[in-house]
Chains A and B, each alone.
Chain A
């Protein structure tokens, strides 16, 4: 805590504030323009996700996972399916694994396109960068809708595969979208990355030292922007990620600009994975024929399934007592854990930078409060 002279001004930012990405409150104490203390207040969107998970059967919780991080429903599905498959010892067919990688990477692309758009919106670039992000997102949402029937709440994955198979026409449409994506990233980078205002506002702002990031449990693009090489796709190699050739971009300066750039670089790596997956996708079933849909009761035990969601490590911890519902259903949400170090990043900065630092964390309140 810094020593302040004179009276402090206490400002309550949120829960209705255009830059808090939903209903999130920060109790900020200001000395002039400088942040002296910042207390995040959660719970304005606490929707009892974990309690409802214990009341519902395993399969009935799948649509609820869509609504955790509502921008990336398919990666949430995957993390939950992975945890239940681990619990039940369920295998997944080859084609379903490929479809999972394709949908998850498309989700990552649209999430990152959106999150850089929102970050720039918070910076004051009102509308235009976000419109570019949404333009790409709509193309990807069209693919999701054609495959799963819903734009946002896909509810696509099942324990032992995926709900429906992709048609050859869908795969062609996906190839076309992926072919156009590098052009979008080029355009975006050319338009904004060397923008003077962006660099002045973000470079050297919101420093997160790697030691603090590791000890606080920060994951995802935030951690990699601090220079720590940790990507669960490389560490765990869950699914079939060991078959793809991709790099993990790392930051150097640990500031908001690095977090912004990491997301753009990850977009390029995701496109690489998508190209390989769409080229190699084999035929075959998308559901394991031995998978049990009705009367699904995994044997007693516990399992933790985790994936690299676009925002970081998303994990589901399940305890089964042999019944149709999980005994304990716990979510390890990346953006909640990433948000816990908000005060450390904001201290000493201007109050206008708090908005920017929060934007660089890339939170979704559905996941933070659950």
Chain B
């Protein structure tokens, strides 16, 4: 239930602050999203640049990079995921506590990027774990990462505490563990997690 905006402003003038529990809850969560200290490739350097003085990700409450997945809320897939690394990425994601979010940063994390033809390159991390935000670019500029982070904050803001569309972390039935792919004879087994990824339909 939302509070009437006019009433809220009027009460604010009287020194009364009115909000809903849902807004307060989402405000708290979106203002302290701690990313995981997890760099994969080139994009990791731009990710570090984003946390430095010029771009200053601390303005959004996301400067505390945690080395442990247990303490992190957000995973930035910053670079090429190879087939040797993909199982560890999924395992790290499984180790994160809900609520957790994933930003796929750069062309490689989205689709394999310039290395897509390579025999050892995974063609997009969204084959194994659910991705919230995709940022194109090779590498994306720090501004693009900030934009993605703001988009994520909007997404958190729009989440409902109850009801059918409540987020995964409030849903006891939701999938928590995602299957970790193994090294098969020629490729990763399975080649994709069908519950999070469907083969895209190409419209010609």
* A→B interface (CB under 8 Å): 15-18, 21-23, 43-48, 51-52, 55, 63-64, 67, 70-71, 130-131, 134-135, 137-138, 151-153, 365-366
Residues of A within 8 Å of B114, CB to CB, are 63-64, 67
A130 touching B84, Cβ below 8 Å:
no
B88 contacts A by Cβ under 8 Å? yes
What separation, in Å, do the CA atoms of A63 and B42 have in the docked complex?
A: 13
Residues of B within 8 Å of A63, CB to CB, are 114
What separation, in Å, do the CA atoms of A16 and B40 have in the docked complex?
A: 9
Question: 1/0 per position for B69-101, CB-CB distance to A under 8 A?
Answer: 000000000011010110010001000000000
B141 contacts A by Cβ under 8 Å? yes
What separation, in Å, do the CA atoms of A354 and B40 have in the docked complex?
A: 21
What separation, in Å, do the CA atoms of A22 and B84 have in the docked complex?
A: 14
B153 contacts A by Cβ under 8 Å? no
B37 contacts A by Cβ under 8 Å? yes
18 contacts between A and B (CB under 8 A): A16-B88, A23-B40, A23-B41, A23-B88, A43-B84, A44-B84, A44-B88, A45-B80, A46-B84, A47-B41, A48-B118, A52-B115, A70-B42, A70-B139, A71-B45, A134-B53, A137-B49, A366-B41
Secondary structure of the B contact surface, majority rule: loop
B41 touching A138, Cβ below 8 Å:
no
Shortest C-beta distance, B187 to chain A (Å), equals 14
Shortest C-beta distance, B110 to chain A (Å), equals 15
What separation, in Å, do the CA atoms of A17 and B92 have in the docked complex?
A: 11
What separation, in Å, do the CA atoms of A306 and B27 have in the docked complex?
A: 54
B138 contacts A by Cβ under 8 Å? yes
Given contacts A70-B139, A131-B52, A134-B54, 12 further A-B pairs with CB under 8 A are A15-B88, A16-B38, A22-B40, A44-B84, A46-B84, A47-B82, A47-B115, A47-B121, A48-B119, A51-B118, A63-B114, A134-B48
Residues of A within 8 Å of B126, CB to CB, are none
What separation, in Å, do the CA atoms of A48 and B119 have in the docked complex?
A: 7
Residues of B within 8 Å of A153, CB to CB, are 42, 138-139
What separation, in Å, do the CA atoms of A246 and B74 have in the docked complex?
A: 47
Q: Which 8 A-B residue pairings sit nearest by Cβ, starting from the closest?
A: A48-B118, A70-B42, A134-B52, A18-B67, A47-B115, A44-B85, A18-B37, A46-B120
Q: Which of B42, B118, B141 has the most CB of A within 10 A?
A: B42
